[in-house]
Structure 1
Amino acid sequence: GEMPQVGEINIDVVASAVSKILGREIPVDPQIEKTREEVRKLVVPRSSTLCAGCPHLGTYWALKRALLTSGGTVPIVNGDIGCYEQGGYGIAGKEYKPSFSTESVRYKIEAPYETLDTNYIMGGGVGLMQGEYHAGYRDGSVVAVAGDSTFFHACLPAVVNAVYNKSKGLFIVMDNSWTAMTGHQPNPVTGITATGSETKSLRVEDVAKALGVEFIRVVDPFDLKATQSAIEEGLKSDKFAIVVTRRICTLQAIRLKQYSGKKMTLDKDTCTGCRLCVSIGCPAITFNVDENKAGIDPIICVGCGICAQVCPVNAIKVGE
């Protein structure tokens, strides 16, 4: 009861909890506390962001839309460790008060960074998802996300367990072909070894099928309609379902000269200021509050085309 229900567990939080349990006060330097208060007024709470053109932005958008139509009353989305773990970092920019009611409480997902409800350890998301199902949670869909690297490093036993113990839930594997979060190391999907030589590239769907998974779909997360449709199908499945969203990490594709984006243009006369494009979470999309108009930062934009698929009035166009 001494630890907070949500947020980061840092040294101050732990020290405070231990001091209360032991009944001993922690010496406090008044000057340090005063400085903290002054600095706190200057800091703008915000989330970190995925890169412009990141395929995970497409996956999270499609998941958000699918949960609105097929996720049930209060779905639970379990995170994992990788670039996509930022899907839960929006808590840094908002104040979420945990509910202690006996009824499930739904939180609105306004940006991809507010998607994840849990995030603990590599491979933990798909395990938690199964625990929630077997514990009897039925107020909404139970979902887990992981990347290709995490899938092979820590999720295989959990996939076996899901099949063996007849779990029901959706497991989304965001396959960007690299261990991108920690520096673009290769993994069993990449097709090269740790020393850079060519090797066999394993496929998530092949391994999942070998482990007994019957519902498997593979989609391109840059195709939002197809991705949303596959996720909706997985949410409605009466079996353990895996949807693989496959698109190479955009940063790595650019480095390897494998990617050529299009020039995106935004017609401000057509833009209605609805901010749907902003809610994609792409750092290249800007918004002018005074004009009530969206914009695109040409320096950051890589021309992936996701925003053009989201804009309801076709104010965003894909050029040459």
Structure 2
Amino acid sequence: MEAIKSTPSDASPGASVKKGRKLLMGNEAIAYGALESGIAFATGYPGTPSTEVIEAIARLKPEVFAEWAPNEKVALEEAAGVAYAGLRALVTMKCVGLNVAADPLMSLAYSGVEGGLVILVADDPGPHTSQTEQDDRYYGKLSLLPVLEPADPQEAHDLIKYAYELGERYRVPVIFRTTTRVNHTTADVEVGEFLELDRKPVFRKDIERYVRASMDGNRKRHKWLNETLAKIEEEFNSMPFNRVEGSGKIGIIAEGVPYNYVREVLPKVKADFRVLKLSTPHPLPRKLVTDFLKTVDRAIVIEDGAPFLEEEVKIAAYEAGLNVPIYGKRTGHLPIEGELTPGLVRNALLRLIGGESKEYRKPEEVAYAESLAPKRPPVMCPGCPHRGSYRALLDALRDLKLGLYSVPIHGDIGCYALSLLPPLEAIWTEYVMGASISLANGQSVVMGKKIIATIGDSTFFHNGIQPLIDAVYKNLNVLVMILDNRTTAMTGHQPHPGTGGSETGRKFNEIDIEALVKALGVKYVKTVDPYDLKATREAIKEAMQVEGPAVIIARRECVIPVIRRGEIGEKPVVVEERCTGCRACVLLTGCPALVYDPEKKKVRIDELLCTGCGVCNQTCPFDAIKFGLERGA
């Protein structure tokens, strides 16, 4: 592994020479801001909508150590080590990733940092690509750390630079909360020169600060953290990213992306509003908020996610003895679930002033309108190896005369979760990284039979190794299928420890999954090619007979990189004379490249979609799909 190099010159934060405007995605703007802050280290775990930040840093400045970690906990701890030594670091993750990193987050708040450490967590109101609509502002309150939230890409760029200044001034990590609309919005952004800090990493022994086994030290650090947070709140009362706009006796307190919706809809609402724009949900700048509330007759809080800010504002108003009505999500003016839109904000403001929106649609009307649109669920790509894995698994259970609903099949986080859809409908559960094996472990104990877990290669490295260790330790009767497609496919094909790849071109070691599993003590381990349905099916049948843990590694590279390299081979052809139109190939695989022609009552293969995996060829009962034939023959 390459060492982080010292840089030749020092400069103060924010002193970079402007380079002009660039059209950037919000995540790219964040990457520019971090590089303009002089970061030496960036890491995280890929997860939409945060992924592009690390990728942009690696592309823009490869000499910065910008590489993925096996999971968010490891990422935060590695970055903490860098920040302890006085250098600046960035950690990125999606909303649920902070759950994984929560353990070190709490202790890290007590120890504080020397170099700036920003923890970027991308929340996903909607949700668009996440298991939950988790609101990570609450982690700021739980950990007693400051939380910053930008409203647009330009502010994301500027605010992250302020985050490094703030963190180093008070020697605390800073949580940088974004939402999908900031991460993935594209805008013109004013950027500057990348900053290089002439700092040599130095870590000094300080038991009270860095060792949490000292209970007396913990009490002292807790007191220090509370005092520090109070100082940060005082700074937030006058920081430039918080400001009051407009005049009027009706108040709006807006944070993050919804501030833009407020600006958009205000000209359409015939009333005068006074707006407090906030970028600091925690600690709440109470003086700024209460001074604002003293100037209005009533106010509404507009925010994405939970009513976090609304609750904080109400507490501040109560403690200040103010009797100003405060509205928001808790009063029903805005929905608690889902993502805010300009229309929802406009309707809330009209309701606040006693007006009525002609555009307002009741939930049942929206539901009816949505029901009229054709459903377009995501599907596995043509040639996806996971299709073969699950087809072979279901066929193996059938051969063993195990009923369709008699053996639980637990899924995990990744592309293979799409196996929940017809025609496979394979997995029964899917909710957090690595849980497939843990759930199978528990059920194997109480149900007295072999339970199946399916997990991807990246997810296995993220959080699947520990539950497999437990299965070996307790000799639990589980079959773990590791679906190794040689990448982190769902989030854009990032490398992981099993690929040996790197974001910046550094040479890393490749971890052999089969050797690792055997080293854990699993007695039955077999690697198969999921394109070979028969061999995969037979291996599964064999593994189901093993008492205790068994592991099958279904290894075949994700088809998308193969397509990009132009390595697609021969494609099969449907022999019309043999095709009976039974659609077994379609119904058994669900491959989008298989198209049923209702006029001919035959199946054809879409040559533009087909990747030549051959799974359909193995499912046709009439041998009507053949390789080695000319099309039209």
In which range does the TM-score fall when normalised by the shorter chain? 0.7 to 0.9
Instruction: Name the SS of the counterpart of 1:128 in structure 2.
Output: helix
> What is residue 408 of structure 2 aligned with on the other side?
76
Which one-letter code corresponds to 1:169 in the other structure? Answer: V
Alignment length (residue pairs): 279
Q: RMSD of the TM alignment (CA)?
A: 2.4
Aligned match of 2:423 in 111, 126, 145?
Answer: 111
Residue 198 of structure 1 and its aligned partner are, at CA, apart by 3.3
Where in structure 2 are the equivalents of 1:5-24 lying within 5 Å?
none
Residue 81 of structure 2: aligned partner = none
- Contact 1:262 1:305 (8 Å CA) reproduced: no
Pairing of 1:180-195 with structure 2 (within 5 A): 180-195=489-504
Q: Give a deviation string over 1:86-131, Cα, whole Å, max 9, x none.
A: 112x2xxxxxxxxxxxxxxxxxxx622x111011111000100011
Residue 310, structure 1, aligned to residue 619, structure 2: yes
Larger RCO (alpha carbons 8 Å, 6+ apart): 1
1:241-275: per-residue Cα shift (whole Å, max 9, x none)? 10001111111122234x33212211223111222
1:127 partnered with 2:447: no
CA–CA distance in structure 1, aligned partners of residues 501 and 133 of structure 2: 38
Name which of 572, 576, 580 aligns with 1:268: 576
Q: Distance in 1 between matches of 2:451 and 2:392?
A: 16
Q: Secondary structure at the match of 2:553?
A: strand
Between the aligned partners of 2:507 and 2:591, the Cα distance in structure 1 is: 33
Q: Distance in 2 between matches of 1:55 and 1:166?
A: 29
Q: Structure 1 pair 134/270, CA: closer, same or farther in 2 (3 Å)?
A: same
Aligned partner of 2:389 in structure 1 is 59
- Looking at structure 2, the residues matched to 77 and 38 of structure 1 have their Cα atoms a distance apart, in angstroms, of 34
Q: SS of the residue aligned with 2:361?
A: helix
| TM-score normalized by the length of structure 2 | 0.42
Q: Work out whether residues 387 and 419 of structure 2, in 8 Å CA contact, stay in contact via their aligned partners in 1.
A: no
**Corresponding residue SS for 2:573:** strand
Q: Could you tell me which amino acid in structure 2 is paired with residue 65 of structure 1?
A: D
Question: Following superposition of structure 1 onto structure 2, how do residues 222-233 of structure 1 map, counting pairs within 5 Å?
Answer: 222-233=531-542
**Secondary structure class of the residue paired with 1:75:** coil
Q: For residues 286 and 137 of structure 1, what CA distance do their matches in structure 2 show?
A: 43
Which amino acid is the alignment partner of residue 273 of structure 1?
G
Q: 1:205 aligns with which of 511, 514, 520?
A: 514
What's the CA shift string for 1:197-225, capped at 9, x where partnerless?
A: 33322111100011111010101111111
- 1:239 matched to 2:521? The reply is no
CA distance in 1, matches of 2:133, 2:466: 30
CA distance in 2, matches of 1:220, 1:145: 15
Amino acid at match of 2:377: S
Shift of 1:294: 1.4
Q: Which has the larger radius of gyration?
A: 2
The whole-number CA distance in structure 1 between the counterparts of 2:415 and 2:367 is 32
The one-letter code of the counterpart of 1:297 is D
Where in structure 1 are there 5+ consecutive unaligned residues?
1-7, 16-23, 91-109
User: CA offset at residue 312 of structure 1?
Assistant: 1.1
- Fraction of identical pairs, as percent: 38
User: Counterpart of 1:130 in 2: which secondary structure?
Assistant: helix
Instruction: Provide closer, same or farther for how the CA distance between residues 273 and 137 of structure 1 changes in structure 2, counting only shifts above 3 A.
Output: farther
Cα distance change of structure 1 residues 9 and 200 upon mapping to structure 2, 3 Å threshold: closer
Per-residue deviation, 1:76: 0.4
Q: Which runs of 5+ in 2 are unaligned?
A: 1-130, 135-304, 307-329, 336-346, 348-359
CA distance in 1, matches of 2:365, 2:394: 40
Aligned to 1:93: none
